[in-house]
Amino acid sequence: MDTATQRKWDAASQNFDLFSYGDDKRLGPHKRRLFAKIRGETLMVAAGTGNDFRFFPPGHSIIAIDISARMLERAAKKAATYPGTIDLRQMDVCQLEFGNNTFDTVVTACTFCSVPKPVAGLGELYRVLKPGGQILMFEHVRSRIGPLGVFLDLMTPLSRRLGPDLNRDTVGNMQKAGFRIRREENVYLDIIKAIEGVKDPSAPTA
Amino acid sequence: MIFAIGDYLAGMLVGAATALAVRMVVWPGMDMVLAMIVGMALGMLVHLVLGLALGPLIGMFEAMIPASLIGMYGGMFFGMRDSMAAGSRTLQAGLAVGAIFGAIVVAGVRFYDRTLRGAVVDTGD
C-alpha cells in the first residue's frame, strides 16, 4: 500500500467535512444525477468520509474502498444510514483485492486528482469491471482554458501537499487505461466534470 | 440563488481586499512595471487566503477560480492605477473600485460557465 498517500489522507480526514461542505451542497445534485445510473455490483473508490453516500440511489449493495483508515472510520457512521448496504474496506486502488470482471459499475468522486499513478489505478478498475461495465466519475481536471490551465498548473505543487492535484487529464487517463468515453459533461467551467466510461463488451476477459 | 449571492459577495470581498493590499504597498510614482508585479503577487496572496476561507462556504473551485483572476489581474490593474496616481482619491473609493472589479469578474466567470456547461461528449449509448 502507498503509505505516503495513506498518511496524507489520514491527516486530511480531520478537516475533510469542513472543507467539502460547500462543494457537497453545491455539487450534490449533479452527483445524484450521475450516480442514479448505478446498476449491478458496484465499487466506490475513495469513499472518503462518506459524504457522497447520500447521493447514491437507495437499495444498492456497494463496496466502498479508501486508502485511509481514518477516512473509513468517519465514513462508517454515514454508511450505516444508507438505505441499502455499504461495505467499507481499506484498499489501494492500484492494488485491488478483487478478481477480474467482478463489478458492473465503478463510481469515483474527486478521486483521480489524488491517486499518484492515475493510469495504473484506472487500469485496475478496468480489470475488475465486467465487459460492458461502466465507470461513473465525478472529477475535477485541468482546464483547457489558457490562463485557468496555467493557474491550476501553478497551484498544483501547493495543493498536492495538502490534498489533490489540480491539473490532471482524467479523461485522457481513462482512455489510456482502455475505457471508451460514453459521456463527458462540464459541471463547472471545463474543470469539474461528470464522466462516464465503459469497458466495451468485446474487451478480452483477462 | 444563495450560492449566486455568495459568489458575488466573495468576489467583491477579494477585489476590495486586493485593492486595499495594493494601496498599502504601492505609492504614486513607483515604477509601473514593479508596481504591477507587486500588485499581482499581493493579489495572488490575498486570493489564496480568502479563497481557502470562503471555499468551504461556496465551493472550493467556485471560490478559488474567480478569486485567482481577481487577485492576479486585479492586483496588476490596481498596482498600475496607484503607481500612476490615477487611482481613487479616497480609500473608500479604492475599495469600491476593487469590489466592482470583483463583481465584474464573477459575472464574467458565471457567464462563461453557462456557455461551457453541459455535455461535450455524448455517444448516446
Residue B48: inside a domain, yes or no?
yes
Q: Please, what is the angle between helix A21-35 and helix B32-58, to 10°?
A: 60
- DSSP assignment of B55-120: HHHH-HHHHHHHHHHIIIIIHHHHHHHHHTT-S-SSHHHHHHHHHHHHHHHHHHHHHHHHHH-EEE
Q: Is B56–A20 a contact, with Cβ atoms under 8 angstroms apart?
A: yes
Q: Is A183–B122 a contact, with Cβ atoms under 8 angstroms apart?
A: yes
State the Cα–Cα distance between residues A194 and A191, nearest whole angstrom. 10
Contacts of B56 in chain A (CB under 8 A): 18-22
Residue B38: inside a domain, yes or no?
yes
Distance of residue B89 Cα from the nearest chain A Cα, in angstroms: 32
Q: Which of B57, B109, B122 lies nearest to residue A22, judging by beta carbons?
A: B57
Q: pTM value?
A: 0.90
> In degrees rounded to 5, what are phi and psi of residue A18?
-65, -50
The number of angstroms, rounded, from the C-alpha of B65 to the middle of its chain's C-alpha atoms is: 9
H or E stretch at B79: helix B75-83
Q: Which of A22, A148, A184 lies nearest to residue B65, judging by beta carbons?
A: A148
| Nearest chain B residue (CA) to A183 | B122
Residue B8 CB partners (closer than 8 Å, separation 6+): B103, B106, B107
Residue B47: inside a domain, yes or no?
yes
Sign of CA dihedral A128, A132, A138, A143: positive
State the Cα–Cα distance between residues A25 and A58, nearest whole angstrom. 19
Contacts of B7 in chain A (CB under 8 A): none
Q: Which of B58, B69, B109 lies nearest to residue A22, judging by beta carbons?
A: B58
Distance of residue B33 Cα from the nearest chain A Cα, in angstroms: 20
**pLDDT of amino acid B125:** 78
**pLDDT of amino acid A9:** 87
| Nearest chain B residue (CA) to A28 | B59
Residue B61: inside a domain, yes or no?
yes
Residue pair A123/A93 in contact (Cβ under 8 Å)? The answer is no
Residue given cell 471508451 in the structure block: A180
Q: Per-residue pLDDT tens for A14-38?
A: 888 888 889 999 999 999 999 999 9
Residue pair A88/A118 in contact (Cβ under 8 Å)? The answer is no
Residue B118: inside a domain, yes or no?
no
**pLDDT of amino acid A206:** 53
* Domains of chain A listed by start with CATH number: 3-140+167-198 (3.40.50.150)
Residue B101 CB partners (closer than 8 Å, separation 6+): B15, B19, B70, B74, B77, B78
Residue given cell 473551485 in the structure block: B61
Classify residue A50 by its DSSP letter: S
Q: ipTM value of the model?
A: 0.87
Residue B122: inside a domain, yes or no?
no
Residue B125: inside a domain, yes or no?
no
Locate B122 and state its grid cell. Answer: 455524448
Distance of residue A102 Cα from the nearest chain B Cα, in angstroms: 22
Contacts of A28 in chain B (CB under 8 A): none
Range of the domain at B61: 2-104
Residue B5 has pLDDT above 70, yes or no: yes
Residue B23: inside a domain, yes or no?
yes
User: Which of B57, B62, B114, B115 is most worth mutating to test chain A (most A CB atoms within 10 A of its CB)?
Assistant: B62
- Chain A neighbours among B 26-45 (CB < 8 Å)? none
Q: Per-residue pLDDT tens for B87-122?
A: 778 889 989 999 999 999 999 999 999 999 999 998
Number of domains in chain B: 1
What confidence tier does A205 reach under pLDDT thresholds 50, 70, 90? low
